Amino acid sequence: MTTLIDLKRLGGVKAPAGFAGRLMAHVGMADSYASFETVLGTVYVAWNRQGVSAAARSASAAEFEEWFRKDVGRQLYAADPPADLAAKISDELEGRRRLRFDLRGLTEFEQAVLRKTREIPRGEIRPYGWVAREIGRPAAVRAVGTALANNPIPYFIPCHRVVRMDGQIGNYGGGGPEAKRAILDMEGVRVTRMEELARAGVRYQGVKTTKIFCYPTCHTGRHALEKNIVWLHDEASARAAGFRPCKVCRPGAVAS
């Protein structure tokens, strides 16, 4: 027997938990997020229909939400990730580029810095000045540093691969210099060796047989025999010694 009271109770049904969040994400007004277990430990990742919008190794979901709302300035709701996102995230962290990113809300300069930074291969490092020169703003080295410090998607946009030329590893928004060192180490960069070279004033590695000079981590110079390697201190002396810059890592102004 159906009574009007029963029908009224049917009218009192509540929307399921998370309904408003899924809806906001669906119309594009909010981002979704979830936590993922990765080689870097637990990483919170936010995404929307444009792509991944933020990442952080926050201590808790609440901390991530608070940081995201303040820093990115959009609403954020916990959600079940799309089926393939976890696989894409671990691929990305292992050096296969599979993610799209949402960089809306950043300035054009910041976007240019981050896009350029994404081109640095896993296992390699570049100085801040390289990013500045590559995006056509060679004098804006400090601004590059600031843009990288505010990278909303660390680990995935590899700001840890941009380091100082003087042998210091440089700041890192994704957990400080120690975290930066640990991630580079995991990616196969011999961090201590690189710091020693930098402190000794060495900037480039030249290969006598090819007459090409590279950044020391450039993969094209990796297979040179030890006896053929010369350590170079600056671009002018490298060119004077008959070396030309590598066309892959582009350590100097492109040869004329």
Partner 1 sequence: MDGTERMFERMVNEHQHRVFALSLALTGNRHDAEEVAQDTFLRAYRALCTYSPDRIRELKQKAWLHRIALNVVRNRVRGVRPRLVELNGSEPDHSPGPEAGALLKADIDALATRVAALPARYRDAVVLRHVQELSYEEAANALGQPVGTVKSNVHRGLKLLRGEEDDHAD
The beta strands (E) that lie in the chain are given as 30-38, 41-48, 51-56, 75-78, 126-127, 162-163, 204-207, 212-214, 229-232, 244-245
**Which range of residues in 8-16, 128-136, 140-148, 180-188 is near partner 1 by CB under 8 A?**
8-16
CA distance 46 to 35: 9
Question: Which tokens belong to 209?
Answer: 């047989």
CA distance 124 to 216: 8
Q: Pick one of 12, 62, 255, 256: the residue that binds partner 1 (CB under 8 A).
A: 12
| CA gyration radius, the chain | 23
Q: Contact, 46 vs 68, CB < 8 A?
A: yes
Choose, from 159, 214, 246, 249, the residue flagged as catalytic: 159
- How near is the Cβ of 60 to partner 1 at its closest, in Å? 21
Q: Pick one of 51, 81, 173, 177: the residue that binds partner 1 (CB under 8 A).
A: 81
Catalytic residue flag (residue 159): yes
- How near is the Cβ of 114 to partner 1 at its closest, in Å? 24
Interface with partner 1 includes 19 (CB under 8 A)? yes
- How near is the Cβ of 64 to partner 1 at its closest, in Å? 19
Interface with partner 1 includes 8 (CB under 8 A)? yes
x-marked contacts with partner 1 along 23-42 as a string, rule CB under 8 A: xx-xx-x-------------
159 phi-psi bin (left φ>0, alpha ψ -120 to 50, beta other): alpha
User: Site residues (CB under 8 A) for partner 1?
Assistant: 1-2, 4, 6-20, 22-24, 26-27, 29, 74-75, 79-83
* Active centre residues (catalytic): 159
